[in-house]
Structure 1
């Protein structure tokens, strides 16, 4: 199988048509398995998947170190590393309260540590994970542009920002892409963010395309979540919300069966079908899940299939917010 490529905006890099989000390999989704994670990263790169997304706060740096170990055995030029910064951790593994540190000084400081942990001279795309309302986005992007001019980053990205912020940022420096949650259960970006990105020639990398596993077809109402799994506190995984969302997944599963695919593959293919300027990120932590996700790149959804999927999971049908209220309040994209 050959993975097609897509270009992230007019100024961004050409990447595989599907990317790998590495967060779950080190953090927030329960116990980690470094050996399987490295094997999965190797399998991804060997299959032609080039875009790997991480953050300096995933596992308090452990995720970057893990990726560096995996890439020691692969060519750096075959990988497009997308790195987020800004969130702060505590020694016990928790997160410090917002606001995020995206000051110009933090841009340079956090980048220095990421370069060392990733064992690389440059990051392909560097982006703030969230914004700080007390720090103008122009200041953050200005510092990123300095690092780009110095050769330490190749492209500037953003994450979870609204249309107005995108315009302000793009007035300072070219933006390759905006990373934002986008799936059959999270359709918010369609209102203003996606139209603005297309107007400005900016790509979109969609995370959460399987809605943290809900749309995978593998989730059950009785699944036990460990203390370190943030989904235990996510509204969409609670009580009646979970039951309602699983009914939507069951409906999607019936469509997938008729189309000869898995539920997760249909969910991924739907996101990819929303435009050539959109690259879905999958959070596969194991090789078998990666293989399932990669097969989605070969699915072609015609108008009838898209209509059937839309009928199974209509826009706005998700039960519960995608984050708990305190985290929702930090999202510029939701304002």
Structure 2
């Protein structure tokens, strides 16, 4: 597994991380045994970065991570979590020092840690980025030793640009994949400023595995069924915001570009890693086989210039009209 430096930090993390949303909830039922096997497989194959959130399964994801890490020896991987989405309603004025400290305390307990490696504001309302007192509260948690560092998880490029104006922000998590190419320039800007970039939704909620069809069905508790139009949270989190039928047509065009020694999912992950401003990519996995396959994407050779050009043209023609100006 190749490593990349985490922003200005001296430490490095695996360029393929483990996104722990699926083992928490909102992706259909995942047995705890399968969830733990998936995480073990990722760690066995060189993953050293885990991303979770306090709302993934109402803490289930964090607790599973804690259990798995207790079962293992050797250096502990870097664990990032998120805070803010427990607010109900999820509004900017709820991002107070008291609320954020309470969320962090809960994550400390769930993860069974004395100090959290990284806490990310979890896609807060845009107004939050214009409230310095929120970032002051995070600075105070770093100073107190409760957290080692903090960052933000954003929906929009503009939010990322505003966030990195705060000197305490060490990382930005953003959606970036073959179907969401607009963040490319932001990622380069973050790199130039020494900000780590964590890429989520790398496979467009599974579309870029190439396994979905018009006949694919999803469980009632899978966001790919209940959030296609943003009914529960930002619709860009589901299928990267691309209409399902449009995306399926684009996937069919991508198939011919995938080399014989790779799956489409690995090919899609390798496309993201072509951007040297990306620190780590966090695909999810529901079982050990998926986690192992994701990890192996790190060993693929670079994509060819011709493949990159075709994917750019496909995006501009078929996908950009639906997503480019929204996020």
* TM-score when normalising by structure 2: 0.86
- Greater displacement, 243-252 / 69-78: 69-78
* Residue 107 (1) aligns with residue 100 (2): yes
Residue pair 2:197, 2:277 contacting (<8 A) in 1 also: no
| 1:8-47 C-alpha deviation (Å, 9 max, x unpaired) | 2124741111111001112111112100111111111122
Q: Which of these residues, 255, 260, 265, is aligned with residue 253 of structure 1?
A: 255
Task: Give 1:302 deviation, angstroms.
Answer: 4.2
Residue pair 2:151, 2:169 contacting (<8 A) in 1 also: yes
* Residue 200 (1) aligns with residue 193 (2): yes
Change (3 A) 1:166 1:310: closer
Change (3 A) 1:298 1:102: same
Which residue does 2:181 correspond to in 1?
Answer: 187
The separation in 2 between residues aligned to 1:180 and 1:205, in whole angstroms, is: 6
Residue pair 1:28, 1:229 contacting (<8 A) in 2 also: yes
Residue pair 2:19, 2:285 contacting (<8 A) in 1 also: yes
Task: Give 1:320 deviation, angstroms.
Answer: 8.4
Which residue does 1:131 correspond to in 2?
Answer: 124
The gaps in structure 1 that reach 5 residues or longer are 90-95, 323-327, 329-333
Measured on the aligned residues, the alpha-carbon RMSD in Å equals 2.6
- Greater displacement, 15-24 / 100-109: 100-109
Residue pair 2:202, 2:282 contacting (<8 A) in 1 also: yes
Which residue does 2:16 correspond to in 1?
Answer: 18
Q: Which of these residues, 87, 90, 98, is aligned with residue 98 of structure 1?
A: 90
Change (3 A) 1:116 1:76: farther
The separation in 1 between residues aligned to 2:318 and 2:59, in whole angstroms, is: 36
The separation in 2 between residues aligned to 1:315 and 1:201, in whole angstroms, is: 29
* Residue 220 (1) aligns with residue 218 (2): no
| 1:222-261 C-alpha deviation (Å, 9 max, x unpaired) | 1111111111131576xx93222112111212111x4531
The separation in 1 between residues aligned to 2:316 and 2:197, in whole angstroms, is: 19
Change (3 A) 1:32 1:65: same
* Count of matched residue positions in the alignment of Structure 1 and Structure 2: 313
Residue pair 1:270, 1:306 contacting (<8 A) in 2 also: no
* TM-score when normalising by structure 1: 0.84
Change (3 A) 1:316 1:149: farther
